[in-house]
Structure 1
């Protein structure tokens, strides 16, 4: 063996567990295609491509009449209001539920609060939407409740984890100095977790603006309900305008949320 070969690092041994994991993933994908009878050749056949092309052409040109644009703008405002109000209610509810979920009131209340939060977030927004429509009827109120219920479960769990990971020393020092529990939490712990809470809330608002549009398909108002109505009547020109409005609204909310996070959340948070 030459001196040059002696300085070369030894070749790493093959990672047998890694290879087994990759083989299992490939086998699972192949088995899924076989079990679900997915045939991609049908999707990309000449007949399917021609049918998709005809369907897409029916969306152009969009309906840009003044009356329909006014209705679409009203739907955008309704969708925005549903997402904002639902997120705001969820933020407050999640903050309240995060206190017992973080173990501040004992192990029993911690287990109960975490079970309730898991129940709220385990039910998808669309399922909550169906239930709230049955409860309060068609309209934006059902959408607000559906978003608030699911998002409260998500934010409550995230807020509780932030509380558990917060340094306990500032709050403990205030308690030892004679401060009551509420002021000690407000001045010793809340300032440490507030930037995280705010970032989580703004991020969920971005997600809820998309879900608020989708909730319209179950009768919760807004752009989704308009889109479902016009697609049901094969009015693709009007549907194209509503889809474009959804894109504009989501892009605007994403940009506004990102700027708010940069302005309100410290860089070190």
Structure 2
């Protein structure tokens, strides 16, 4: 190689510096895991003892065979429909509330409104559904109405935050172009920003509906109706065969909703 070619060759970039934050974070997580195992009284030996295994086997054997009487199956079917209705209506109410909160939560009405709405969304989703149901049972009484409102309150906080993030991450140029050409703000939002985020919002809604099916089946434990209330009643009376039928109905309902939600998501993402 000539001296001129040697001078014209580009210099290699310097090697990147090793940053200490990655290894430090890994060591901190490892220390947290070790401390968790050391501090919790995990009795693995008792869990796998012969007495524990025998007790569990005897308990599970008491569930067989499930109750298949026509009267009880009809009652279970009605409770299944009630649980499905609670989850669907609670999710629809949460979509409406979440969308209304997402607009100011995305900063469309100023920074002060954004901060206040974000705090409200944090409060709504930080309180679990069971706690919401316990609170609302005092006002609404026993039954599915309190459970529906509990699902709507918690899910509105979750969806409101997700919707607000989706709106903030949408490309602003299409809406700005429409407004610069004289389109009203509301029309520019519906024609430019909402179509960008709508598939993502629908995917979030379907996912939360799946979660609400499971939550609605549990809310009955505190008296909010549906399959959960039946399960608590029969377990408290040690009617294990009837409880097995209710558990099977829960599993079938969750599997059905998962399949429907998966099919709808595939249609939306085409």
Q: 2:124 aligns with which of 112, 120, 126?
A: 120
Q: Which runs of 4+ in 1 moved over 6 A?
A: 14-19
2-structure distance, mates of 1:27, 1:132: 41
What displacement does 1:262 show? 1.6
Residue 20 of structure 1 and its aligned partner are, at CA, apart by 5.8
Deviation sequence 1:146-170 (CA, Å, 0-9, x none): 0000000000000001101111111
| Cross-structure match for 1:183 | 187
The Cα shift of 1:37 comes to 1.6
Structure 1 residues 28 and 266, CA, compared in 2 at 3 Å: closer, same or farther? closer
Correspondence 1:266 to 2:269: yes
Distance 1:173 1:157 in 2: 26
Pairwise CA distance, 1:38:
1.7
Q: Is 1:76–2:86 an aligned residue pair?
A: no
Q: Is 2:230 the partner of 1:230?
A: no
TM-score normalised to structure 1 length: 0.90
Which of the pair has more CA radius of gyration?
A: 2
The TM-score with structure 2 as length reference comes to: 0.89
Map 1:2-151; keep pairs closer than 5 Å: 24-151=28-155
The alignment's C-alpha RMSD in Å is 1.7
1:71-122 deviation digits (Å, cap 9, x = unpaired): 0000100000000000000001101100000000000000011110111001
Tell me the distance in 2 between the aligned counterparts of 1:178 and 1:241: 62
Q: 1:119-176 CA distances to partner (integer Å, 9 max, x unpaired)?
A: 1001111111111112211100011000000000000000001101111111111111
What residue number does 1:252 align with? 256
CA distance in 1, matches of 2:106, 2:20: 40
Count of residues in correspondence between the two structures? 253
Are 1:204 and 2:211 matched, yes or no?
no
Give 5+ residue unaligned stretches, structure 1: 1-13
Paired residue secondary structure (2:269) = coil
Segments of 5+ residues of structure 2 without an aligned counterpart are 1-17
